Amino acid sequence: MKNKIVIWGASGHASVIADILNLRSEYKIVGFLDDINKDLYGADFCGAKILGGRKRLKTLYDDGVRNIIIGIGNCSVRVSLSNIALREGFFLVNAIHPNAIVAKSVKLGKGVVIMAGSVINPGSKIGDNVIINTCASVDHDCIIGDGAHICPGVRLAGSVEIGRESWIGIGSVIKDKIKIGERTIIGAGSVVIKDIPSNVTAFGTPAEVRIRQ
């Protein structure tokens, strides 16, 4: 029998995670949780039902569901919800697309999502609740902090460090040995050739800090 899993989230990102889990055939998706769109409770979504919000966690646990993955793109929200799920006794599951390439020496945290066409090369460390999105590449010896989101088409050269809960926008390129701080946003299509501090928004070619949080 397949292990039961619930996906916390019920939007586009959650649908991609559901597709990955279905392709791998290791888990049976029992439903989705959504704290925002209460009018959708009971609706069909990706072959299962939207069961309700976080109040359903206890019922699911009592019904024998032990596995969960957070299907929400927002970095800080994803980390926060994962901590709630862990306190309720759930296990964070990884979703790795069968067409992703992950080197054997890569160290993966919990709750990681690695989407189709992405590549993670040897020596890299991927923290908890990280998203490596469609066709992103993470070269050798990179360190990706908990809750970070490496968006589609991003290119990280070797030995790049991405801080906790940072967002690297679609199509961005980061040169080797660059460090990006925590909770920082790199705008879409940026080229990063120098270190970027924490709690800022940076974008451009080359990327410059534009907003300080």
pLDDT tens digits, 171-205: 999 999 999 999 999 999 999 999 999 999 999 99
Average pLDDT over residues 150-169: 98
Residue-wise pLDDT tens digits, 104-122: 999 999 999 999 999 999 9
pLDDT for position 1: 65
Domains and CATH numbers, the chain: 3-93 (3.40.50.20), 96-212 (2.160.10.10)
pLDDT band at 2 (very low <50, low <70, confident <90, very high): confident
**List 13, 97, 140, 149, catalytic entry:** 140
pLDDT for position 159: 98
Residue-wise pLDDT tens digits, 34-93: 999 999 999 999 999 999 999 999 999 999 999 999 999 999 999 999 999 999 999 999
Query: According to the 3-state scheme, what is the secondary structure of 72-98?
Result: CCCHHHHHHHHHHHHHCCCEECCEECC
| Gap between the Cα atoms of 201 and 213, Å rounded | 8
Active site residue 149: no
Measured in residues, the chain has a length of: 213
